[in-house]
A = this chain, B = another copy of it.
Amino acid sequence: MAQDISKKALALHKELGGKVRMEPAMKVRTRDELSLIYTPGVAAVSTFVAKNPRLARDYTMKGKMVAVISDGSAVLGLGNIGPLGALPVMEGKCALFKSFGNVDAFPIVLDTQDPKEIIETIIRIAPGFGGINLEDFAAPNCFEIEDALKAKLDIPVMHDDQHGTAIAVLAALMNAAKVVNKKFSSLSVVVSGAGAAGTAISKLLVQAGIEDIVVLDSKGIINLVRKNLTPHKKELAKMTNRRGLHGGLEEALADADVLIGVSGPGLLGAKQIKLMAQKAIVFAMANPVPEIMPEEAAKGGAMVIGTGRSDYPNQINNSLVFPGVFRGALDNRVTKITDKMKLQAAKNLAALVPNPTALKIVPGPFEKGIAEAVAKAIK
């Protein structure tokens, strides 16, 4: 099955010869059109835009074009496979941007993995774009890169592996709490993985009012006692783990209501799920192979189970989020994606499933109105 998809995907990509095309808004067919689209007419537009830079969004692609940028340092679950390896994913993402959100997006892959070089390069190519979607940058560089770009650019910048994922998880968790009939803010949550996604999820859950969050990296529970924590993990240590736990996954899972896996394949089995509280919620989001397969999680007693996969119920994927976020940001000329917007986006996304069940806590990717609902939050 998986091999079959791989074969088919390779054949399709070769047939298509890449997944993005540039199409002019108007083909040039006559001398009159040529004189308006290009010289001499374009000179008036260039002069006008140079004098009125704020109106560039009305007269150029800056009003609609998002750059989807990667350095290939953390591509899907494949790791650091470099810019060319990242390119098919970025092209696919651009195809989803247009298909789901009618957003024009263009892939750019970088021949550097140095944060300083990445930051200065993106700033230098930014003038023509209306937004920057960072993608598949590894932690911890991704934090530094996103922070610097947000501070220096006047267009929205979002590292989707962080915030797209966090918004989707928050929406799913809001509905899952309803299904298991537990109070959202009282949920005890374990986040396995302190990379880009785990960090952003943890922070957004704190913003959303959840007080009991325990985060683990490959060395175990993150707490203030641990030495040599990187800056972003130190920040996590300060804002999570109020019970001061230490140890590993089993210690963290004892009586927990929620496990959010954003780490790696096959991390745990039914035995560990049994340590959790009754009516446990398990989001096992490593892709394509989750931390625990849904069948196994159910065996352990989990009541609501989500993954990143399209072949199981409850696909919690950032493709529910990023097209709407940038649709809204472009339409409303938003310059920063704030925490408030992210929380509202999650609420709007959750509200698309008014009567959630164990098998349906988020809308399917092809349901109507998803991007529109998310876009309404970004203003």
Residues of A near any B CB (own CB < 8 A): 2, 5-10, 12-14, 16-31, 34-50, 53, 56, 58-65, 72, 75-78, 81-100, 104-112, 117, 120-121, 123-128, 287-288, 308-310, 319, 365-366
Contacts and interface: CB of A to CB of B under 8 A. Distances in A.
A238 to B, nearest CB: 34
A46 B78 contact: yes
A229 B50 CA distance: 32
Nearest to A26: B16
A111 B126 contact: yes
Contact of A16 (B25, B76, B81): B25
5 contacts: A16-B26, A18-B25, A28-B95, A39-B288, A46-B88
A41 to B, nearest CB: 3
Given A5-B35, A21-B23, A56 B127 contact: no
B108 A125 contact: yes
Contacts of A110: 124-125, 127
Nearest to A94: B22
Contact of A87 (B8, B36, B43, B60): B60
Contacts of A27: 95, 98-99
Chain A at the B interface: SS class: helix
Contacts of A75: 46
B41 A9 contact: yes
Contacts of A34: 96, 310, 319, 365
Contact of A125 (B18, B62, B82, B121): B121
Given A24-B94, A86-B46, A365-B34, A287 B124 contact: no
B310 A46 contact: no
Contacts of A86: 46
A24 B28 contact: no
B87 A18 contact: no
Contact of A85 (B5, B47, B91): B47
A87 B20 CA distance: 21
Contact of A39 (B44, B91, B308): B308
Contacts of A10: 44-45, 48, 59
A20 B124 contact: no
A29 B99 contact: yes
Contacts of A58: 14, 17
Contacts of A112: 124
Contact of A76 (B8, B43, B62, B85): B43
Given A17-B58, A49-B87, A86-B46, A22 B65 contact: yes
A179 to B, nearest CB: 23
Contacts of A123: 111
A40 B288 contact: yes
Given A40-B288, A124-B117, A18 B85 contact: no
A272 B183 CA distance: 90
B60 A91 contact: yes
Contacts of A44: 5-7, 9-10
B28 A99 contact: yes
A65 B31 contact: no
A38 B366 contact: no
Given A23-B23, A25-B95, A84-B127, 19 more contacts: A5-B36, A9-B35, A12-B37, A13-B45, A17-B59, A18-B64, A19-B25, A20-B65, A22-B22, A22-B98, A23-B98, A30-B366, A40-B287, A40-B288, A45-B88, A61-B91, A62-B84, A83-B128, A120-B121
